[in-house]
């Protein structure tokens, strides 16, 4: 969000421990270093660094630009980022012609100007801090551009607004029949069978055998609690051995950058099954043709796809993944040679599919409800967790353990769990359950009322308060003290945050102290921060410091983008959330060790811990992976781990500035091998940050 003068930006800053947001002002005239240092965590979570480290992408764009721009002309770069493509275009014209770089995000505009200054191009490229659809010829551009260079693509291709951007550019900013880099993009797909992908969306089938007797998606409510109908970006190579292709790859849509695209498109495909199986998902990817002649390509295809003209990047990268579209329910059974009809459509920003044998998702629901009334949308990983029999059994044991011999009259569910209110109400019929639903609110109430009835639970036993924890009073509890405070903990929208940011539960527990009874039970009772050393070369390489990119110095952006590797001693890379199993080559090099504990029976406070690292393998250590194990009962007998062997949770990854060769004591004969290290961590309850200090001994 920016002001009309385009000299100031208002950035929304989120506090994970309180759930509150505040506007932070970024001025164009602010001192660069102070502004960048303040906003480093924000820029570190973007994909710019990973993208700039993608040498295959960089080389393909450089070759296509040099081949396309052969004489001085007017070049427009939309979504210019650090200005790499603009600088390539300027160099291709020998510094002649005109290059206009359009970038709407003010922090990146400031970075771009810094990069251009370092490379001696300041003043030779016109930088405009606007959205491209705000540009006007005669105001921002001296004339219509002859060439468009752009890289506004996401893993789905269309999600960053490619179609409306091209439409406006062709209507208002470009000459007729312009040259473009890229020239064309084509999307492809493949039908696959995968139990793992099936578990990420079919909660109804996966929870059927749960021992707690609760159905979150009882007949008639299947579609109310579900994952969103969309393509999900995901690295599918790590599950390649668990995945069974049921078709050959097929072409879906083709988008030409050199002409105005349509907002809506559809295609009907007849696909022959190549094997017997059950279609659980459509895996899709795209291929860029960067030049008009069709000699320069870039592909996001999974590694099992082979093509004589296109190759996937040699190095792993995270900014572009494949996409997965879940086939509803338990999928479609097919036989080898059977013909499957697929209907694909696209709008301005997304692509969707329909297989003509799938069950309709528009059926009426029981108790007078329809999917049009309301819907609770879960992240795929949360749907899989709710359908996991082991996870639900742990929750059941924890609640039964604390309720044994006790009849709490009032229970408060402090997070966005839709499972715990039903579980507590079913096990302890004498309890009244209040759910706060920090994000779900009214829709959460409607769902719980319907689900309670479907599970033969009195809807009067569950109540949803429509306010945040900080605003709760004894009036909301009918002047009763809370006997049981419980959480998963799970906060809607936290799936891309660091594990310890779910310590919001501890902050909430502290805020609620005045309405808790003296002997109130707290679940989980504590959290344990755990860690292990990791070999993760692909992720480290994608996050390492930049130097020259196709001849242009980018070293000045490293601190701002949260780079690791070869940093000054006073600087260190941030800790970022990732799925290690999706992050390329991955191996564990040490025993798992405890770093510190968080005692939820007490109020939130500063914590610190230090542990020695015992290496179990000889190898190159690129960092440490950290997570929280939640102790769900007072006897420490029920522990829910969110570690790297659990694929439904992201962990925090702290990459080293310089990778170290490590190994157990017996391997000290290996030259340069380190056999001992220590990890120390400090938790700050005022902002939820975790400071990590590593020391190789």
Task: Provide the annotated active-site residues.
Answer: 151, 160
Note whether 325 and 352 are within 8 A (CB). Answer: yes
Give burial (CB, 10 Å; 0-12/13-18/19+) of 64. buried
Reported as half-sphere exposure (CB side, CA atoms, 13 A), residue 76 has a value of 29
Return the DSSP state at 12.
E
**Which structure tokens are listed for 515?**
């309405």
Closest CA to 627 of 510, 505, 503: 503
Give Cβ neighbours of residue 571 (< 8 Å, ≥ 6 apart).
559
Q: Rounded CA gap, 124 and 193, in Å?
A: 53
Label each residue of 344-362 as H, E or C: EEECCCCEEEEECCCCCCC
How far is residue 374's CA from residue 62's CA, in Å, rounded to a whole number? 48
Q: Tell which residue, 689, 660, 697, has the closest CA to residue 575.
A: 689
Max CA pair span of the chain = 84
246: left (phi over 0), alpha (psi -120 to 50) or beta: alpha
Q: How far apart are CA 474 and CA 464, in angstroms?
A: 15
Euclidean distance between CA atoms 264 and 487, whole angstroms: 43
Q: In 10 A of CB 23, how many CB atoms?
A: 10
Helix (H/G/I), strand (E/B), else coil: 176: strand
Please, which residues have CB within 8 angstroms of residue 390's CB and are 6 or more apart in sequence?
none
Q: How many Cβ atoms from other residues are within 10 Å of residue 189's Cβ?
A: 26
DSSP letters spanning 211-230? TT---SS-TT-TTTEEE-SS
């Amino acid at each position: 969000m920016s002001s009309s003068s385009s000299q100031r930006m208002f950035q929304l800053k989120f506090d994970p421990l309180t759930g509150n947001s505040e506007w932070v002002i970024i001025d164009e005239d602010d001192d660069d270093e102070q502004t960048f240092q303040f906003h480093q965590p924000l820029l570190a979570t973007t994909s710019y660094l990973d993208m700039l480290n993608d040498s295959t992408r960089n080389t393909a764009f450089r070759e296509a630009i040099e081949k396309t721009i052969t004489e001085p002309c007017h070049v427009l770069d939309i979504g210019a980022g650090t200005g790499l493509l603009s600088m390539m275009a300027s160099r291709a014209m020998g510094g002649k012609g005109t290059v206009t770089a359009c970038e709407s995000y003010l922090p990146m505009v400031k970075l771009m100007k810094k990069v251009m200054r370092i490379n001696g191009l300041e003043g030779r490229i016109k930088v405009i801090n606007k959205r491209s659809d705000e540009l006007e010829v005669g105001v921002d551009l001296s004339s219509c551009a002859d060439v468009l260079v752009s890289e506004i693509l996401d893993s789905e291709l269309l999600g960053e607004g490619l179609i409306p951007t091209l439409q406006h550019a062709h209507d208002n900013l470009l000459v007729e029949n312009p040259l473009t880099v890229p020239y064309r993009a084509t999307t492809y797909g493949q039908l696959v069978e995968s139990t793992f992908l099936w578990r990420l969306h079919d909660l109804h089938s996966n929870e059927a055998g749960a021992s707690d007797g609760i159905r979150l998606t009882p007949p008639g409510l299947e579609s109310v609690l579900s994952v969103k109908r969309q393509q999900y970006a995901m690295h599918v190579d790590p599950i390649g051995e668990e995945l069974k292709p049921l078709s050959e790859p097929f072409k879906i849509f083709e988008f030409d950058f050199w002409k105005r695209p349509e907002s809506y498109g559809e295609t009907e495909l007849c696909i022959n099954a190549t094997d017997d199986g059950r279609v659980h998902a459509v895996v899709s990817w795209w291929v860029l043709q960067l030049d008009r002649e069709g000699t320069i390509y870039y592909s996001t295809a999974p590694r099992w796809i082979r093509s004589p003209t296109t190759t996937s990047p040699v190095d792993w990268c995270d900014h572009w993944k494949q996409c997965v579209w879940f086939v509803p329910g338990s999928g479609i059974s097919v036989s080898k040679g059977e013909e499957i009809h697929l209907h694909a459509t696209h709008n301005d920003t997304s692509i969707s599919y329909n297989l003509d044998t799938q069950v309709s998702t528009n059926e009426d629901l029981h108790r007078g409800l329809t999917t049009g009334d309301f819907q609770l949308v879960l992240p795929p990983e949360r749907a899989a967790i709710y359908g996991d029999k082991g996870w639900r059994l742990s929750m059941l044991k924890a609640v039964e353990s604390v309720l044994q011999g006790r009849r709490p009259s009032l229970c408060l569910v402090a997070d966005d769990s839709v499972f715990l209110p039903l579980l507590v109400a079913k096990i302890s019929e004498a309890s009244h359950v209040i759910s706060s639903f920090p994000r779900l609110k009214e829709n959460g109430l409607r769902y719980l009322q319907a689900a309670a009835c479907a599970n033969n639970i009195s809807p009067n036993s569950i109540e949803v308060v429509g306010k945040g924890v900080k605003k709760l009073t004894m009036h909301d509890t009918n002047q009763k003290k809370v006997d049981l405070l419980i959480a998963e903990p799970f906060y809607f929208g936290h799936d891309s945050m660091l594990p310890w940011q779910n310590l919001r539960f501890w902050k909430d527990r502290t805020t609620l102290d005045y309405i808790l009874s003296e002997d109130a039970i707290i679940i989980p009772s504590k959290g344990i921060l755990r860690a292990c050393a990791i070999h993760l070369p692909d992720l480290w390489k994608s996050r390492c410091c930049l130097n020259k990119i196709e001849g242009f110095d980018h070293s000045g952006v490293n601190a701002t983008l949260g780079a690791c590797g070869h940093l000054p001693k006073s600087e260190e890379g941030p800790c970022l959330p990732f799925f290690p199993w999706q992050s390329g080559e991955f191996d564990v090099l040490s025993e798992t060790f405890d770093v510190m504990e968080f005692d939820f029976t007490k109020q939130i406070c500063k914590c610190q811990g230090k542990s020695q690292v015992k290496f179990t393998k000889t190898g190159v250590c690129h960092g440490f992976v950290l997570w929280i194990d939640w102790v769900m009962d007072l006897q420490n007998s029920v522990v829910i781990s969110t570690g790297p062997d659990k694929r439904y949770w992201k962990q925090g990854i702290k990459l080293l500035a310089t990778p170290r060769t490590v190994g157990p004591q017996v391997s000290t004969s290996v030259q340069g091998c380190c056999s001992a290290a220590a990890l120390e961590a400090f938790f700050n309850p005022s902002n939820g940050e975790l400071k990590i200090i590593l020391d190789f001994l």
